[in-house]
Every structure is written in structure tokens, then in C-alpha cells.
Amino acid sequence: MFGYLVADQSLLEQAQKDRYKGCYCGLCAALKSEHGFFGRLALTYDMTFLVLLLSSMYEPEEQRRMERCVAHPIRKHFCWESRFTAYAADLNVALAYHNCRDDFEDDGSVVGFWESELLTAQYQAVCQRWPRQCAAIERCLQELAAIERSGAQTPDAAAACFGALMAELFKVDGAFDSFLAPFGDALGRFIYLLDAVMDLEDDVKKGRYNPLKALREAGWTQADFRSMLQAQLGAAADAFERLPLLQDAELLRSILYSGVWQRYNRAAGHSSDQEENHEGPL
């Protein structure tokens, strides 16, 4: 369920692109410093969204610098970190660890097994720092696994489970939890359903669990599934617009209202300039 929370670069001004890339590079640097080389392999743009969101909510002090790295060895590049960068790096490792374990347990992936083994020590350290969040990840993933084992065609229940997981990750210190938890919950439900739609045909071919199989067999079309996704994203948009955001608000909107559709649109054969790729609040 990684790879959906990415910015639509076509909607960004150059300053926003620099800000976004600088946040991503800061997250990469935090993963390296806190979790070493193997932790850096867990890097995703999804947690960049979380850093931007929490930094916009709390407006903490930022550490800005120019540096070189393995990916950019010749020319220095801009990066920045806030106190939420290390938090997002830890969550990145925790989610990557469980994703690798899931790949191994579902498909017998040797790569998934060894990647999870390489992340075990880092994950244990994250559990020490963030016990509530890691307990929520484990609890919700166990509930999801139970739903999958039962074969129950209950997309709402499965999506609600992943939404509860995301809600816990978006809560940090209580100050804005009443705003952030509903948004995290709605966004998590959307991501779970979007991932299920993306995987549906492959899951049917391979005989794997997917909570949307019954709807497909009942005659649901891609248009029906898209309408379902739009409704769920609308709930996330409503919660997002209640957040007291100023800094990076438009950058965050480019992710939530357009960027999240990019993988779906490519899979569905839509070009980036079609109207589906420019969703706003529904």
C-alpha cells in the first residue's frame, strides 16, 4: 500500500518542487542517520506527505542545509528536516518491515523475508520509541489478516481497519489529534480501497484474497469502483479542509487531490491531462 501519496509535479511551481524534494531528501538523510543503509532502503514519498502535514500543523523549527549524498555525489542539493522528520523515518521503517513480512507470508517472497530480517533490529528500536504506534500497526494488521483468512467480502470492515491504523500514526502529541485522527482514518480507508482496486484483476487471476471480488462478480465496472473511491476521498478531503493549515497547504492539496490518482490513472490508461487527474474536494 505504498506509493500513492505523491505530488503531482505538473501542478507545482518551482519553489514548491524544491520544498517537496528538500523534504524527501531530509527524510532520506534521517533514515540513514537513524537506521543505517538498510533503513534507507525503506524510503518512500508517502512519509514525505506526513512530514509536510505535521510540519504545517505544528510549524516547528526547521534545519535547512545543502549537502551531497550517494544519489547526488557531485552537486550539493537542498534538504530540510523538522522534529517530525525523524518520527516519519521511524514509521517508514516500521511499515516497510511489516510490508516485507507480509510479502513473505502471502507469496513466500524470499526478498521480502531477507529485507524484513535486515530491518528487524531497526524495527525493534522503533517499537521502543513509539510503542503506541507500533502496537496499533501490529493490532490492525492482525485484524486485517484475520479478515483475509476468513475470506469475508467486507470491504468496509477491512478499510476501517486500515483507517484505524493510519489514524494512530497521524496522532503525535495530543495537541491536534482531534483534527488529525479523522483525516488519517479517512485517508487510510481510501488508500486501502484504492490498493484493492489496483490489485483486483491480479488477485482474481492468482486466487488471492481481495475484498472487492464479490462486487466485481456482481457486475461492478471500473466506473463503479472509481465512484466508490471518489466518495471515500471526499471524506478525506472534508477532514483535510478542517485542518488549520497555512504552510505548504497547496503542496499538500496537490498530493491529496491529484497525486493520489496518478498510479490509478496510468493503470487505467488515462493521460495526466485528463480531468480525472485533477480532482478537488468532492
CA gap 90, 67 in Å, rounded: 22
- Range of weakest confidence among 54-68, 102-116, 178-192: 102-116
60: which 3 cell numbers? Answer: 516547528
267: which 3 cell numbers? Answer: 493503470
Return the CA Rg of the chain.
Answer: 19
Backbone phi, then psi, for 184, in 5-degree steps?
-60, -40
Confidence of residue 109 (pLDDT cuts 50, 70, 90): low
Determine the angle formed by the axes of helices 155-170 and 177-206, rounding to 10 degrees.
Answer: 140
At 83-104, the pLDDT tens digits run 999 999 999 999 989 888 876 5
- Work out whether strand 77-81 and strand 63-67 pair parallel, antiparallel, or are unpaired: antiparallel
Average pLDDT over residues 94-118: 74
Domain parsing of the chain, residue ranges: 152-245
Confidence of residue 40 (pLDDT cuts 50, 70, 90): confident
Confidence of residue 270 (pLDDT cuts 50, 70, 90): low
pLDDT exceeds cutoff 90 at 175: no
Q: What is the pLDDT of residue 271?
A: 43
